[in-house]
Structure 1
Amino acid sequence: MLLTVGHQSLLVLLGTAGGLAFSIGAWHRASRRARALAAEVGTVQAEMEALRDETWALAEREERYRDLVQSQGEVVMRRDLLGRLTYVNDIFCETFDRQRPEVIGAAFVPDLPEGEKPRLLGSFAGLALPPYRIRFDQRVMTARGPRWFAWEEFALRDEEGKLKEIQTVGRDITDRKETEERLAIALDEAQAANRAKSQFLAAMSHEIRTPMNGVLGMTDLLLDTRLTPAQRSYAEAVKRSGEALLAVINDILDYSKIEAGKVQIEEAPFDLRAMIEGVCELLSPRAFDKALEIAAEVEPHMPLRLIGDETRIRQILINLAGNAIKFTKEGGVLIRARLESHSYTDDLANIVIEVEDTGIGMEADELEVIFEEFSQSDQSHARRFEGTGLGLAISRHLVTAMGGTIDVESEPGRGSAFRVRLGLGIAEPAAHQRAPLRGVRIVMLCDRPVLAASLGRVASLAGAGVRLAATGDEVVAMLREESADILVCPVDTAEGPGADIVARARGEVPDLAAIVLLRPQDRDRLPALIGQEAAPAIFPALFDGYLVRPVRASSLIARIEALAAGERRAIARIEAIEQYTEEKAQADASPAGPSSEWGIALNILVAEDNDINALLTRTLLERDGHTVRVARNGSEVLDMLDKPEPVDIVLMDLHMPGMDGFEATRLIRALPDSRSSLPIIALTANAMADDRQLCLSAGMDDYLSKPVVPDALARTLAYWSNRRSPLGHAAVSGDDGLKSGAIPF
């Protein structure tokens, strides 16, 4: 068709084509712009979508924060640097009954109940230094009345670290405060009840000990007179009953002191071996009354002196061994101490003290309760053994206070074994071990297994060759088989007198030396046993020496060592003469003469309002040769000190009508002359540790508790007989006595 057109048509066609080409270019440009615009729109839409998402997340966070703040139930507010509120939460509005518009931009200080100490909320005080926050409790007035709040304020800073606001958060702690107040009131009431209990125990101790002092003291005086056998039996029964009652009182007082946390553990060097042997000797009369043996055994490697509370350890052992004697019908009790481990670098010894008996034993369920307060293995109404059930509880508390442990093993019918483990310091290590009895051959006749085993181990550890025989026939058979150097024999055996067995043994070994084992009450038989019927004339000796049960290890070794060295007859003679002389001197001593053992006769002023105790104290003192005057109260004491009769020492009761002992002591110390330096000794039925310290703090020089122990009284008087009190203002300085509170025994 183009071929048929003319030239003009061709031009038109070319022009149309050019316009079309131009239009296509513009379209392409417009299309590019449209695409760019669409891209920009997409970007804007994406940004808008991201912004919507961020706005939604921000709103969600804000809602979550708002819910968190509101759900905490805490008052939240913010202040600017001028103290004006910039924000409060709904809890604030509810708590203080305020509307948000009325408080924003204004200062806020809560109203306080009457008497409440004001605190300045939002004061910036204490916020300048780390941790940039302060806390305090305050009671404020709210829409619900007075409420306690725990306020916490902290500083808010901008990006440059400049302080811009203070945020305060308050938590309602009224319930906690009321609980604390109730607990404080309950604690005060408990402490008041504890004080009342302590006062009651102290008062009851005083009221019981005062008549008990008379009962036991007068019984002792009665036993010192001539009595028929029946009368002596009755008097001894009264004394035993009084001592049992006193033991109950002491247990209750000890428990009350432990319960109140007033037990103090002292540390000082002491001899463990001597202490354990002393416990055995103290309890031996009780054991011998039941035909039981009691023995001590301390291994040779034990340090000579340890560091600890000797008094408390002795108390524990007396409790344990006393119980063992009470619950044992036959056999005996053994107190054994052994060294479990030691460190000379740390000067520490871990020791185990065992108290074993051959008593009735206990079931497994009984072992679970015996250390509890007021518990006994037999709780039935038909129980055979009396007691408070406090002894073991007290022992456990004391052992724990010393950082140790206590446990028990027992089996019905086979006895019990209590073990106390303690870590004690070493004051003096064990001595060099030697074998003083090496080569000595010993035969021990003893039908008491506890005693025989203990003595046999002691002699064996000292180097002796020991054979144990239960009967006289076994002794003879052993000597026929092999000779021996020494025979140890009880004064009485199940077969008859020990002297008869010694005679049979010497039929086999003529030069056999013999040692007799005696109870303390058998001493009157000693002259006949060792050839001293009419001392000092010498008769053929049945025995060459004696040992009093319970036997100390050192005494056993020394006696055997001396006999083995050939000092047989000399020992017998010396022992017999010493024993005879001692008993004769005691029998010939005049009751009215002064005691040569404890010192010279003194002029003593006794302040005592109880007639019986006054009579007892006067009798004890006059029996030792002292001159005694009695005052019934503190006023009479001062009146008597104004008289010309001399006074060397004052024995002062605490509780007396009118003027008591404390006031009288204060007035004596204030006297302008030498009377202010008179030794004043408290003689009281109060037995608590605080009572002793109270007496010493009041100006008294010493303290004796009732019931009065005559020997303790005599020792104390002898100590102060040549001293003046350092507490009087007229006292001579220097070595004129010890410091206040020095106890001479």
Structure 2
Amino acid sequence: MQKRNYNYFLLIFFAFLLVASIIFTQTLTDKATQALQKGNIEAVETFKTSNEMQHLVNMSFTLQSRFSQISAVTRADSSDVLGDSLTLFGYNANILNEAIGRKGHIPNLKSLMDAVNAQLNLSYAVLDARQQNDARLLNNLTDSLRKSKPGEDVYRYGVLVEKFLENQLQQTLVTNSTHASQLSAYNRVLSIAAVIVVLIFTTIIVIRQWQQLVLIKELRLAREAAVKSKNAKDDFLANMSHELRTPLNSLIGFGNLLSDTPLSNTQKEYTNTIISNGYNLLHIVNDILDFSSIEAGKLRIKRIPFNLPELFEDLKRMFSALVNEKKLTYHWDIDPQTPEFIKGDPERLKQVLVNLINNAIKFTSYGGVHIHVAQLPFEKEDAYKLVFSVKDTGEGIPKEKVDLIFDRFEQLEQMTTRQHGGTGLGLSIVKSLVENMGGTVSVNSEIGLGSKFTFTAVFEKVTDAPVVTDKKAGKPSADFSGHTALVVEDNAANRVLLKHLLRKYQLHIEVAENGLEALERIQTKHYDLILMDIQMPHMNGYKAISIIREELHIHTPAIAMTAYVMENEIKRCFAAGFNDYISKPIEEPDIISKILKWMPLRSDVVRPAAAADAASGMEFFIELVGGDETVMNELLVEIQKQWALDKDALRAAAATGNAHEVARILHRIKSTFSAFGPNHPILELLKKHTITANSGAETMIRECEAFILQIDKAGAAFIS
């Protein structure tokens, strides 16, 4: 930087020096030009004076000749002409005298003028004598004129004056030549300086232009690098989202499926822990993605009507387990003046409250949490300004940390992460979300006395209250019998999860592992619905759906299953040709509602008899396999094979009278039919059946045959 400044100062000094040189040269050039012009004027005047001198001498000789020959008999008009000539001669002499006199002291000029005056006086005397008709005087004067010859005196002195003027002219010409040489030299210097200046400044302009081009190129490269960096960041976040959400989808999905099966209390506790931690991890992923969206300025606040008390009921249910686990109190209340229905973004509002309530519970060991909502005065008539407060009786926040807690990745202590978990992004996201909702957030806290977080938000008024939906309802009820869906998913665990999940609703499922395989299946068979993952090997979901829509012209409803929940990815799904999208981890109510949206139930569909029988007599078995007919058939085949082996083994043991072996085989048969559930008739028979000990082989054979017959009869629909 110092070198660059030094170069600039040197350049400025050099430019100033060149400008000063040009000005000085221009000044000398002006002086030389003025001197040359003055010399030229003097030369011209000298030439004019010389011509006038010659004219004066000629007039002098002419007048001398004419006045020498004048006589008494000369006509009067001739006298008048001679008088006029004398007047003109005198006038020219005076003009010449003044012109030469301006040049300074001229030698012989006075003598010249005296000779002119003498000739004029003598000539005028001759004219007077002529007019008086004095012949004697006239003759005397003409004789005197012929003898004195004044014209010769005028000529002699005129020649002397003219020689002086010629010498002066010669000097002027020499001076002019010198000035012309100087002017030429100055002009050359000025031209050279101008050329140098032009070259220098042209070089400067070229260099600056080149530097600007280099800078523009560097800026373009920097911009491309920044764009690549941003794209790399977005790609990283998208990939991270996909890579984390894909296993989370399986983890939470199978956890939910497992929680629906008969479990012991311990198993339920373990299952709930798995699901809870899965959602915690999902919450962290969402925090990171939300923060990235906020930083990129892509966060959008929706404007939809929602029920405020209903939102707080959802929050209460969400935190009930955690509150009960820590034995805390949880209360919320809404000021009566606060409207029940408002228009805004319920998900973002819930996200703010979830962060604040979660922190309140996290840092509170005794006491509880209280949430309050009230309405503030607001200048806009079509909007409300609400104030929310979340108060806890927890640890409190040190004063020196209060101003920092809303910064990203900021936590109270370095040990906080290990003690309580979290990314340190929650309150930063809260601040950004609140500001995007037109409000502010603040905190009031004292160590040991708890904290109170307060934030405001602006919501629009709702003219017509929306229809209230019952969110306490259980899992969705749907029967997709007769429909077939193609699931395109590269993750095997997710394929199995979707199979078990959707077969519960009698939706026939076929699977493909990537886009290429999906294209092959779609061209050979009609499907009522396509569920397609986005990121897959060989061909991703975007490419596959584009080919389906644009080349194959197939318009089967397609739902994108994406772990990319950023807004630009969602828009990309619709732009590529998907009808809808669902984010991972997939929630059972969400995916069923999406399927119902694009593949409504048909009233004319009749369920197969086998499925009806299974539903009526083998609920446990169907629930176990998630209604998957393929799995059911495979499992039934294996049960049939095992039952055939068990029957042969049971008959062989009875034939030998080996009661111990018979008992062992009967216990094994319980395992064979355990998939039917503890209340199935076959299992009831196994519970009631006893063997007559020491009764002999024949009795044992009869009892075993009767038992086999009962089992075959009870399971005739499945094991025959």
The equivalent of 2:548 in structure 1 is 668
2:522 pairs with 1:659: no
1:290 CA drift (Å): 2.2
The equivalent of 1:363 in structure 2 is 398
Q: How does 1:213-612 map to 2 (within 5 A)?
A: 213-343=249-379, 346-380=381-415, 384-428=419-463, 596-597=477-478, 602-612=483-493
Q: Distance in 2 between matches of 1:278 and 1:74?
A: 79
1:605 CA drift (Å): 0.7
Q: Does the CA contact (< 8 Å) of 1:334 and 1:356 recur in 2?
A: yes
Q: Distance in 1 between matches of 2:311 and 2:365?
A: 26
Amino acid at match of 1:268: I
2:694 pairs with 1:634: no
1:319 CA drift (Å): 1.0
Question: Number of residues paired by the alignment?
Answer: 426
Deviation by residue 1:579-617 (Cα, 9 ceiling, x = unmatched): 9xx99xx9xxxxxxxx63576663111001111110001
Q: Does the CA contact (< 8 Å) of 1:306 and 1:424 recur in 2?
A: yes
2:564 pairs with 1:686: yes
Most deviating of 264-273 and 363-372: 264-273
Which structure has the bigger radius of gyration?
2
Q: Distance in 2 between matches of 1:351 and 1:622?
A: 46
The equivalent of 1:102 in structure 2 is 191
Q: Does the CA contact (< 8 Å) of 1:276 and 1:335 recur in 2?
A: no
SS state at 2:547 partner:
helix
Change (3 A) 1:408 1:75: farther
Amino acid at match of 1:269: P
Q: Distance in 2 between matches of 1:334 and 1:601?
A: 51
Q: Does the CA contact (< 8 Å) of 2:532 and 2:559 recur in 1?
A: yes
Q: Distance in 2 between matches of 1:229 and 1:141?
A: 89
SS state at 1:427 partner:
coil
Amino acid at match of 1:340: L
Q: Distance in 1 between matches of 2:503 and 2:374?
A: 47
TM-score by length of 1: 0.52
Amino acid at match of 1:254: D
Deviation by residue 1:673-717 (Cα, 9 ceiling, x = unmatched): 6xx221100012222222111111100011111111011011111
The equivalent of 1:705 in structure 2 is 583
Q: Distance in 2 between matches of 1:383 and 1:701?
A: 43
Q: Distance in 1 between matches of 2:278 and 2:218?
A: 46
Q: Distance in 1 between matches of 2:513 and 2:382?
A: 54
SS state at 1:303 partner:
coil
The equivalent of 2:51 in structure 1 is none
Q: Distance in 1 between matches of 2:253 and 2:355?
A: 24
The equivalent of 1:734 in structure 2 is none
Q: Distance in 2 between matches of 1:184 and 1:99?
A: 46
Change (3 A) 1:222 1:148: same
Deviation by residue 1:11-54 (Cα, 9 ceiling, x = unmatched): xxxxxxxxxxxxxxxxxxxxxxxxxxxxxxxxxxxxxxxxxxxx
Q: How does 1:20-169 map to 2 (within 5 A)?
A: 101-102=190-191, 141-142=202-203, 146-148=206-208
Q: Distance in 1 between matches of 2:599 and 2:417?
A: 53
Amino acid at match of 1:361: G
1:267 CA drift (Å): 2.7
Deviation by residue 1:351-409 (Cα, 9 ceiling, x = unmatched): 21111122222221221221111111122379521111110011111112233110011
The equivalent of 1:563 in structure 2 is none
The equivalent of 2:243 in structure 1 is 207
Change (3 A) 1:339 1:684: same
Change (3 A) 1:145 1:234: same
Over aligned residue pairs, what C-alpha RMSD do you find? 3.9
SS state at 2:377 partner:
strand
1:148 CA drift (Å): 1.4
Between Structure 1 and Structure 2, which shows a larger proportion of helix residues? 2
1:222 CA drift (Å): 1.9
Change (3 A) 1:680 1:413: same
Change (3 A) 1:376 1:700: same
The equivalent of 2:592 in structure 1 is 714
Amino acid at match of 2:550: A
The equivalent of 1:55 in structure 2 is none
* Structure 2 residues without counterparts, runs of 5 or longer: 1-8, 20-25, 28-186, 603-720
Deviation by residue 1:390-430 (Cα, 9 ceiling, x = unmatched): 10011111112233110011112222111111233323499
% identical aligned pairs: 34
Between Structure 1 and Structure 2, which shows a larger proportion of strand residues? 1
Q: Distance in 1 between matches of 2:442 and 2:368?
A: 20
Q: Distance in 1 between matches of 2:234 and 2:364?
A: 35
TM-score by length of 2: 0.53
Q: Distance in 2 between matches of 1:606 and 1:317?
A: 36
Change (3 A) 1:413 1:104: closer
SS state at 1:420 partner:
strand
Q: Does the CA contact (< 8 Å) of 2:253 and 2:497 recur in 1?
A: yes
Q: Does the CA contact (< 8 Å) of 1:348 and 1:424 recur in 2?
A: yes
The equivalent of 1:82 in structure 2 is none
The equivalent of 2:78 in structure 1 is none
The equivalent of 1:435 in structure 2 is none
Q: Distance in 2 between matches of 1:405 and 1:707?
A: 32
The equivalent of 1:20 in structure 2 is none
* Aligned partner (choices 214, 226, 231) of residue 190 of structure 1: 226
